[in-house]
Each structure stands twice: as structure tokens, then as C-alpha cells.
Amino acid sequence: MVNSPNSKQEEIMADLFASHFLMPDEGVMEIAVKRKNKKGELDVTDVLFIQQYFGVSYKAIVIKLQELGYIKDPSCYLNIPITKLAKVLGYNTQLYQPTNDIYCSKAYVELVVDAFKLEQISQRKAEEYLNAVNINLNDIIEGQPVEEGDWMYD
């Protein structure tokens, strides 16, 4: 799934997750076979349909379709204004909008809390570090569990 050395680690992980769990080969192939034209090809609107069906990034579905042999040259599909096309075709464009989700490594939280408990950083500094990822230090110290929805961890 990784084609560019400039890909961010988060994008790489999201693409891998999408490829393996959100877009099972059998499911993608079933829809691709139905959408192929008489020449056995998928056009951009077919790819967009499949992308919307699975609710994944456009790049992820293009690469998945290439891996499955339905697309020969992904650059033909990637160099188009996909958000604009999706809007024209009446699709929801929410998939193309950035989110405000905050992802935080469990190791990060543990490092901050351990440093605070060992008095390597002040309470103020620990609060600053944890507030940056929407976690309240008092919730952790008082033994209140942090809700999984409050932050994402690995």
C-alpha cells in the first residue's frame, strides 16, 4: 500500500488497516466485477462508487484495485479532483474532509505519568503534556479510568 517515501506513518497505517479490514479482497472483487465495463475496465466513477461503498480513502481503494488487478496505472485515477467529482455525482464529501480527532499513544501517557510520579517533571508540565491530547492528569492520578473515546492509543 505504500507507494511514496513521503507518506506519513499515520497514512501508511490507515491505508494498511483499510486494505486488510475495511476492504476485504472478496468484497472489493464482487463489486468491481459488477462495475466493469464491456472492456473489463473500471472508470473513475466506478472507483468512486467502490470507495464510497467501503467508506475508505480514495487513494486506498485505488491501490487496492491495482493490487487486485483491476487498475493498471493508478496515476490516471489519482490525478483528478475527486472531491469535486464526488460532489457533482451526489456523493457525501465527508470522507474527504480532515477530522479533528486526536490520536495518542498509550506509551506517551505512561511516559508523562511515570515522569510525574518520579518527580522528573512538575505537575504543571504533566498537565500541559496531557491536556494537549485531551487527558486530565487528575483523572489518571485519582484512578479514574480514561474513556476509550477520549483518546486513541496503540
Phi, psi of 28 (to 5 degrees): -65, -45
pLDDT in tens, 42-86: 999 999 999 999 988 898 899 999 999 999 999 989 989 999 999
Across the chain, mean pLDDT equals 82
89 touches 48 (CB < 8 A): yes
For residue 22, name the pLDDT band (cuts at 50, 70, 90).
Answer: confident
User: What pLDDT is stored for residue 143 in this prediction?
Assistant: 62
Which residues face 103 on adjacent strands?
A: 152
For residue 106, name the pLDDT band (cuts at 50, 70, 90).
Answer: confident
10 vs 18, higher pLDDT? 10
Cα separation of 87 and 11, whole Å? 24
How is the chain split into domains, by residue range? Answer: 9-96, 106-150
For the segment 1-9, the average pLDDT, to the nearest whole number, is 54
